[in-house]
Amino acid sequence: MRRSLLSLFLVLAVPLTALGAQGPYARLRGVIQDAATQAPIAGVRVVIAATGRFSTSDSLGRFEVPDLPSGIIRFFFNADGYPRTSVVLAFAKGETMVQRFELEANTVLSPADSVAERERVQRLTQVDITAEPSRGVRYEDFERRMKTGRGQYVTREEIEARNYNNLGDAARALRGVLVECGGPRGCQIRMARAGQSCYPQFIVDGRPDNFFGPLVAIRDVEGLEFYTGAADVPGEFGGSTAACGVVVIWTRNGPAKAKPSAPKPG
């Protein structure tokens, strides 16, 4: 018995088209095809990992993701019957990038299959491994969660590209997140699914901080995580306030992540 697994092949060597700068934001246009048949694949969700915003391929396998900041962006490809796969692309300011993507079926081989065929499949499965520049050990939890696609994320690159002035500016661009202004507290972030007086828990550099968290200057932020309800909140941030949502802030000059200490001699 053989069953099919699918992996993403990105045709990067020669882009189909590279259009000139047309404004401050970049865009991605693409076609998604089956690698074996070259038939278009409809209904594939192309998701921006940092924000959760997505585009869906049409009956001809075409899609477009507009309003992208310049810099390095990770995308997830989700489709029924295909394992979720990711790819990282680098965009110049105002660039329109056009690429062709292929979904390749990988076969799980039985012991009776030939060694040559096994080696061929092994080489194919290695193609979709894509390296991404690391932000450093202090942000490894942020990067780990961002790769899962759970929640919504705002990176330093997006903050600079979109010229956000404060946390509220970054929150307004996200689905299910409200920014309420007025009253003695000024502008406050609230999740749309939360009750009227239910405000999110703020986590700053791994520590709960509802007092200073909402006041962190956007220029000091390296990354943001937004979880709009208990179903989205990772286990490490769960608790009685999870139903109101969680906002995780990673600052650029926060405390370094502690390294495990060496055991003391007995």
pLDDT in tens, the chain (266 residues): 333 444 455 554 334 444 444 568 899 999 998 777 888 889 888 989 888 889 999 999 999 999 998 888 889 888 777 777 788 888 888 889 999 888 765 444 455 555 544 444 333 333 343 444 556 677 888 888 887 767 889 988 889 888 899 999 999 888 889 998 877 767 899 998 888 888 999 999 988 998 888 999 999 999 999 998 888 888 888 776 778 999 999 998 766 554 444 445 54
| CATH class name, domain 4-125 | mainly beta
Where in the sequence of the chain do the CATH 2.60.40.10 domains occur?
4-125
Q: What is the CATH number of domain 137-251?
A: 2.170.130.10
Burial class (CB in 10 A: 0-12, 13-18, 19+), 225: buried
- pTM for the structure as a whole: 0.51
User: CA 117 from chain center: how many Å?
Assistant: 34
- Alpha carbon distance 34, 81 (integer Å): 13
Determine contact, residues 71/156, Cβ cutoff 8 Å: no
Distances (CA, A) of 249 to 113, 178, 220, 245: 51, 17, 10, 13
- Alpha carbon distance 84, 6 (integer Å): 9
- Alpha carbon distance 138, 140 (integer Å): 6
Where in the sequence of the chain do the CATH 2.170.130.10 domains occur?
137-251
